[in-house]
Amino acid sequence: MASADQSPEQPQIYLITPPSFELSRFPDQLGRVLDETEIACVRLDMASRDEDTLSRAGDALREVCHARDVAVVVSDHQILAERLGMDGVHLSDSAKSVRTARKALGPDAIVGSFCGASRHDGLVAGEAGVDYVSFGPVGLSGLGDGQQAELDLFQWWSEMIEVPIVAEGGLNEELVRSFAPYTDFFGIGDEIWREEDPAAALKRLIAAMG
């Protein structure tokens, strides 16, 4: 997941898997989306805490992504990221685990941090050495504690801080249009996977960037 330019012409797409999926179907579905659209990174973000389930899903997704030169990270499971040969880890506890993950995974791994709507947590994560900070949800979503990451947070960050940012959670075409000038990546998940044609749904969101 390469660092985006400070004022990107167009944000890159960071795909997030559904919290659960059928291993017999989803890797093929993901492959079709990757074949039709340029994707910066894929995050395995399953609700399951079963090691076997996560390992089998991680193996399948790594194969699909690496065949297309797309980076793949896993939410929180640092040991699994190492064991499965993934490209890094996405931490959902803001800045708490960043230094530990960086030390364990090394300087070349992707280490990202979800910081909700907290500018402070984002700054702490940035100082700890993350490759990106994710803020969200930006739209109405069941994620987190009900707080939304507002547009002014992204505007301030894009002007003041060099660490790339991801806008995720509850996205729609209107929000994509509003946030596009101020974010480096859009984290897109259920917004497309709940649709009958995820690739087409993603293209609609991308078109809204202008």
- List the domain boundaries for the chain: 12-207
Confidence (pLDDT) at 1: 59
pLDDT-derived band at 143, boundaries 50, 70, 90: low
Tens of pLDDT, residues 45-55? 999 999 999 99
Do 114 and 81 form a contact (C-beta atoms < 8 A)? no
Continuous H helices in the chain: 26-36, 51-66, 78-83, 98-105, 119-128, 151-160, 173-179, 190-193, 198-207
pLDDT-derived band at 147, boundaries 50, 70, 90: confident
Say if residue 186's pLDDT is above 90.
yes
Tens of pLDDT, residues 16-32? 999 999 999 999 999 99
Cα dist from 202 to 136, 173, 185, whole Å: 19, 10, 14
Query: Per-residue pLDDT averaged across 85-108, rounded?
Result: 93
Confidence (pLDDT) at 6: 46
CATH architecture of 12-207: Alpha-Beta Barrel (3.20)
